[in-house]
Amino acid sequence: MAKKNTREEIVLKGIAAAPGIAAGQAFLMDQPDFIVPERSILDEEVPVEIARFEEAVSHTKSEILTIRDKISKEAGTKDAQIFDAHLLVLEDCMLIDEVIKRIKTWKFSAEHTFSLVLKRYIEIFQNIQDEYIKERSSDVSDIGRRVLKHLMGESRVHDFDSFTDDIVIVAHDISPSDAVSMYNKKILGFLTDIGGQTAHTAIIAKSLGVPAVLGLKDATLHISNGDYIIIDGRKGFVILHPSEETKHLYLKEKDKLAEVEGSFSNIKDAPGETIDGRRVSLLANFEIHGELPAVKRQGAEGIGLYRTEFFYMNRLDLPSEEEQYQAYRKIAEEMNPHPVIIRTLDLGGDKFLSSIQLPKEMTPFLGSRAIRLCLEEQEIFRTQLRAILRASSHGNVGMMYPMIAGPGELRAANAVLADVKKRLRDKGVPFNENMPVGVMIEVPGAAMTADLLAQEVNFFSIGTNDLIQYTLAVDRANEKMAQFYEPGHPAVLRLIRRTVNAAHDAGIKVSVCGEMAGDLTLAIVLLGLGVDSFSMSPTTIPRIKRAVRSLKFSDVEELARQALKLSTGHEVVDFMVTEIKKIVPDFYMYDAQNK
């Protein structure tokens, strides 16, 4: 039973990590650091302490492997690979050797020595500017607690099976090993003080299918066990001690969302077509096989962006050609005759690769990433190309290169592709000789040479997330720069218009697969600019489809022309919202941002 609200309502703002609305009692996960007493040892005790340490590491490895097997069965291989990062920590020779060396020189107990070395490692991770690497400190902390548990004979495993009521998990941080224990339990959602959208917590939140808000800074200082809280994972809000009025409003909002989602069923199989007959394809962005039911359920007409880098991240080895081929083939066969557009590796920048050692770069987003990395690491690239080509004989498969800056990089990539094709042909391996090959337009250089690129590819796909970042010189992962990240900025819209015109002049089609494609207002701008297809999160497809089917292309084409005359992105959005409401008054009725 929820406690009666006798305190003032508090609204906390964090990072929207997983969408949805949840309300219930808070369960505060207490995860304090172990208090490790300083204990000196004698010379003759050194071998004993080293043996204790090695045994604790061995027990922890077995524990992690058990957890990984469990999550693999319950949630799939992709989520289980998260724990490969933990195994990498346990197999770090530098860490293990340093602890053994310090036991010998410092003459402290294994647990005290390990805690001191671990603390230094965590500080190193947290001081690294790269956000993805910084967030990996939680992996090191989680492993450290498990090793210390075995050294000190303590247990801090949370028993989620004992919960009899639905709860909202509240924590400073949630380790992957704790999160895996939440599968199939009575968990409504969770929130944390720290973490960002690249944290393992965010990944698992989406896998669990529950709303989550991260990066709340000091939520655990405000929330106590049993407090009634509301999570709005769409906007990143957490409401503590909500008033009866707020509870009622959110209950109504939740019912409305359910009603709207239910109404989408009658247009699931309808085409994405405007009132006056302009036809656009509505496709899904895709990462792992477990998302396929949602892709089909939401009426996607294909997969417009198959992100393949997740085969490579958080694992101890590189994926083989056969592993990739089987994965691509399965998706191609299950989606056939609908298209499946596979993006070649887009690693680097904020995407961490565990399997090969890459030099640290001061500006990783401007360094060796995506197609540049593939051209440098050609064996990895060729392995993937062989897998994609082999899969192309089993369905409607296309392929595109990320981060192409101009014709030079395109030709270099195509030269590798041509050689891989020749070798497969010589061996008699079947593949689609006419598999469509495209490029992603993500940097101004590509947009400005779109007329040249269009002569050498079969299609364009505009990645608006990076196009905005590089055009406006704004780090999209930096919260302090959020006010400067304007998707509707005139420079961005003009580059998109230039790209669309160049594509159509060359007789090829252009898609948009960035977040703009799933934004209710900006998608209409893109429609007016002549974009042929949109690729987005599967759950967004019905909303965009309804929007497209509510308008005339002639109207939105004129609105886009007017929007291009405006000075700022904010002006563009305000203008579009105002004008669209004049045409369709209830257009934004259930939209979280523009209603």
Per DSSP, the residues of 186-250 read: SEEEEEESS--TTSHHHHHHHHHT--EEE--SSHHHH--TT-EEEEETTTTEEEES--HHHHHHH
pLDDT confidence of residue 214: 85
135 and 194 in a single domain? The answer is: no
Any idea which residue has 């949805």 for tokens? 20
Any idea which residue has 């209409």 for tokens? 524
Look up the pTM and report it. Answer: 0.68
Other C-beta atoms lying within 10 Å of the C-beta of residue 86: 26
Asked if residue 54 is part of any domain, the answer here is yes
57 and 123 in a single domain? The answer is: yes
- Are 461 and 437 in contact, with CB atoms under 8 Å apart? no
Asked if residue 224 is part of any domain, the answer here is yes
CATH number of residue 589's parent domain: 3.20.20.60
Catalytic site residue 112? no
Domain boundary among 198, 223, 244: 244
DSSP 362: S
Alpha carbons 15 and 115: distance in angstroms, whole number: 31
Alpha carbons 271 and 294: distance in angstroms, whole number: 18
Domain boundary among 106, 123, 152: 152
Alpha carbons 159 and 474: distance in angstroms, whole number: 44
120 and 209 in a single domain? The answer is: no
Q: Quick: pLDDT tens for 65-84.
A: 876 776 666 556 655 566 67
Alpha helices per DSSP H over 377-531: 378-391, 407-427, 444-448, 450-453, 464-472, 490-505, 520-528
- Are 528 and 580 in contact, with CB atoms under 8 Å apart? no
Asked if residue 324 is part of any domain, the answer here is no
Report the candidate in 169, 191, 166 with the shortest Cα–Cα distance to residue 11.
191
Alpha carbons 584 and 520: distance in angstroms, whole number: 13
CATH number of residue 65's parent domain: 1.10.274.10
Asked if residue 172 is part of any domain, the answer here is yes
> Side chain identity at 74, as an amino acid letter?
E
582 and 499 in a single domain? The answer is: yes
576 and 478 in a single domain? The answer is: yes
Asked if residue 547 is part of any domain, the answer here is no
- Report the half-sphere exposure of 594 (CA within 13 A, side-chain side): 19
> Side chain identity at 406, as an amino acid letter?
G
DSSP element (H, E) containing 440? strand 437-441
The tally of domains found in the chain comes to 3
- Beta strands, E only, 241-300: 272-273, 279-286
445 and 589 in a single domain? The answer is: yes
Check whether the bond before 359 is cis (ω within 30° of 0).
no
Phi–psi pair at 117, nearest 5 degrees: -65, -40
112 and 191 in a single domain? The answer is: no
Active-site pick, 86, 338, 489, 513: 513
Q: What tens-digit pLDDT sequence spans the chain (595 residues)?
A: 444 445 789 999 988 777 778 898 888 876 545 557 778 899 989 999 999 999 888 888 887 887 677 666 655 665 556 667 677 778 778 888 999 999 999 999 998 899 888 888 877 776 766 655 555 666 777 788 788 878 876 544 455 555 556 788 888 877 655 655 565 567 888 888 876 554 556 655 655 567 888 888 878 878 887 889 999 987 889 999 999 999 999 888 888 777 777 777 788 889 999 999 999 999 998 877 777 888 898 899 999 999 888 777 655 578 899 999 999 999 999 999 999 999 999 876 444 454 455 555 445 556 667 898 899 889 999 999 999 999 999 999 999 999 999 999 999 999 999 999 999 999 999 999 999 999 999 999 999 999 999 999 999 999 998 899 899 988 765 545 667 878 999 999 999 999 999 999 999 999 999 879 988 899 999 999 999 999 988 878 988 999 999 999 999 999 999 999 999 999 999 999 999 999 988 787 655 545 4
172 and 27 in a single domain? The answer is: yes
DSSP element (H, E) containing 351? none
Tell me whether strands 21-28 and 228-232 are parallel, antiparallel or unpaired: antiparallel
pLDDT confidence of residue 155: 46
Domain boundary among 193, 226, 244: 244
202 and 100 in a single domain? The answer is: no
Asked if residue 574 is part of any domain, the answer here is yes
> Side chain identity at 574, as an amino acid letter?
D
Q: Quick: pLDDT tens for 186-203.
A: 788 888 887 655 455 665
> Side chain identity at 168, as an amino acid letter?
V
458 and 521 in a single domain? The answer is: yes
pLDDT confidence of residue 311: 76
Residues 6+ apart with CB under 8 A from 387: 321, 322, 324, 325, 328
Q: Quick: pLDDT tens for 378-437.
A: 999 999 999 999 999 999 999 999 999 999 999 999 999 999 999 999 999 999 999 999
- Are 373 and 365 in contact, with CB atoms under 8 Å apart? no
Asked if residue 588 is part of any domain, the answer here is yes
DSSP element (H, E) containing 478? none
Asked if residue 428 is part of any domain, the answer here is no
Work out whether the CA dihedral 61, 169, 166, 288 comes out positive or negative: negative
Provide the residue range defining the domain that includes 450: 438-531+552-595
pLDDT confidence of residue 203: 53
Residues, the chain? 595
Alpha carbons 136 and 143: distance in angstroms, whole number: 11
- Report the half-sphere exposure of 521 (CA within 13 A, side-chain side): 23
Active-site pick, 200, 241, 338, 394: 200
58 and 106 in a single domain? The answer is: yes
Report the candidate in 314, 70, 63, 30 with the shortest Cα–Cα distance to residue 173.
30
- Report the SS3 class of residue 276: coil
DSSP 34: P
111 and 126 in a single domain? The answer is: yes
Catalytic site residue 374? no
